[in-house]
Chains A and B, each alone.
Chain A
Amino acid sequence: MAAALTLSLAGRTALITGAATGIGRAIALAFAQAGASLVVNHLGLSEQADVLVQEIHNLGGQAWALEADVSQSADVTWLAAQVQQTCGGLDVLVNNAGILQEKRFLDTTEADWDRMLGVDLKSVFLTCRAFLPGMVARQQGVIINIASDLGILGRAQLVPYCAAKAGVIGLTRSLAREFAPAIRVNAIAPGPVSTAMLSPTSMSVESIQKELDIPQQRFAVPEEIAATALFLASDLSRFYCGQVLGPNGGSVMP
C-alpha cells in the first residue's frame, strides 16, 4: 500500500454548484478546511458567494466565485472554460445545485416539470459532459452528485423533484461504470436538512412536519452532509464507485 489514506484535499481543485447557501456552502467550507481550492458557483447570489469566498480566504484557502445557470448548456460551457483558465483543471466536481417546488401533480405544468428537471437533473448531465474530458485526460477525478432520500422514497406533491433525484441516482450509477476505474462517481441522498429549501418559503408547514417523521426525529445541519461529501472527495473512499450514501437520520434503510 502506498501513502496513508487521509481526508486531506491539499493540492486539489473542487467546483461546487449552487454553493452560495445551504449544503453547497457547507461542502465548500469543509473542502477548504481540508486544503482544496474552491470554485463557488451560484446563480443570482453574488453577495452570499462573495462572503463565502472571503471566509475561505480567511481560512488561508483559495476560492473564486463564478455565476452560471448550470441548467443552461452555454453557461456550463463558459463555466468550464473559466475553471480551466483559472485553475488549470478540476479534481472534484460536486453537483449540488437544486430547486424544489411543492405542487399537486394535477396542478403541475409542463413548464414546472421542465424547470425542475432542468436544474435538478439536466444540470448534472451538462456539468459532467463539460468536465469529464479533462478528468479523462488527466486520468483522475471525483464526481459527487447530490440526490435526495425522496428520490428513493417518493413524496406526494413533489413528483418532478423525486423523479429528477431518482434520475440523478441512475446517472451516477451509469457514469460510475462508464468512467471507472480512473474517475469515481458517487451520490449522496440526504434526508431532511435545515436549509432554505426546507423552509415555509418553499414547502408547506405540514410537509415540513412530515419530514421529521424519521427515526432520528430531527433535521440534519448542512455540515453533516458536507462530512459525507468530504469523505467521498478524499482518498479514504477510493473503493467507492456508483454508490448512494445516505446521511438521512434513518429515513431510508435499504
Chain B
Amino acid sequence: MRLTRALLPLMRPGASIINQSSIWGKTGVPDFSAYVASKHAVIGLTRSLAFELGARGIRVNAVCPGWIRTDAAMRSLVSMAQQQGRSEQAVECDLLARQALPGMLTPSDLAGIFLFLASADAAALTGQAIVVSNGEVMS
C-alpha cells in the first residue's frame, strides 16, 4: 500500500501493478489465519484499486501462487510437519496430492504470469487474482 501510493504519481496509462497474493488469498488453512487474512486483503485491495485507477489506464492484478520451492515456503512446511508430528516428506506428499499437475512449482514457473500481466497482451485484464498452483486451487 505504501509503495503503491508512493509510485502511483509516476505511472502512465498502460502501466501495470501486480500484487503478490497466494492460494491462501482464495482459501483458508488452519494455523495460518493472520497470513491468510493478509493475502485475502491483498485481493480486496487489488480489486478496489483496479476500479479507482481504471480511468487512468492503469491495470491492477494479483498473482496467487501455490506451493513453490523457496526457503520461506520450506520453513512453513517444516513448521506444519512439526505441528502435525509428521515427517516433512509426508506433509509435502499430501500437499502435492491436491494438485492436478505433479511436482512442486519452482520460482521460474511464476515468471510467465508476471511477464504476461506486465505486457500489453494483458491490456483487458484488471482486478483479477490469477492462481498459479499446478491446479491445487481452481477458482
Contacts and interface: CB of A to CB of B under 8 A. Distances in A.
A162 B1 CA distance: 13
B8 A106 contact: yes
A151 B44 CA distance: 5
Please tell me the size bucket of the interface on A: 35 or more
Nearest to A158: B48
A154 B44 contact: yes
Interface in A151-193: 151-159, 162-178
Given A153-B47, A159-B48, A162-B47, A121 B37 contact: yes
Interface string B25-59: 10111111110111111111111111111000000
B28 A155 contact: no
A153 B37 CA distance: 16
Interface in B14-28: 24-25, 27-28
Contacts of A110: 2
B45 A174 contact: no
A183 to B, nearest CB: 12
Nearest to B25: A170
B5 interface: yes
A163 B42 contact: yes
A157 B2 CA distance: 16
B95 to A, nearest CB: 15
A106 B48 CA distance: 13
A110 B45 CA distance: 15
B127 interface: yes
A167 B28 contact: no
Given A110-B2, A168-B37, A170-B24, A178 B46 contact: no
A173 B34 CA distance: 11
Given A104-B52, A155-B51, A174 B46 contact: no
A113 interface: yes
Interface string A136-163: 0000000000000011111111110011
A167 B41 CA distance: 4
A170 B48 contact: no
B34 A154 contact: no
B6 to A, nearest CB: 10
Nearest to A254: B139
A106 B31 CA distance: 35
B46 to A, nearest CB: 7
Q: Which of A121, A155, A157, A163 has the most CB of B within 10 A?
A: A163
A177 B38 contact: no
Nearest to A177: B30
A78 interface: no
Contact of B31 (A155, A176, A178, A242): A178
A118 B80 CA distance: 28
Contacts of B33: 125, 170-171, 174-175, 178
A161 to B, nearest CB: 8
A171 B37 contact: yes
A209 B137 CA distance: 36
Given A150-B44, A154-B50, A170-B25, 13 more contacts: A154-B47, A154-B127, A156-B48, A159-B1, A163-B42, A166-B42, A166-B45, A167-B37, A171-B34, A174-B28, A174-B29, A174-B31, A174-B36
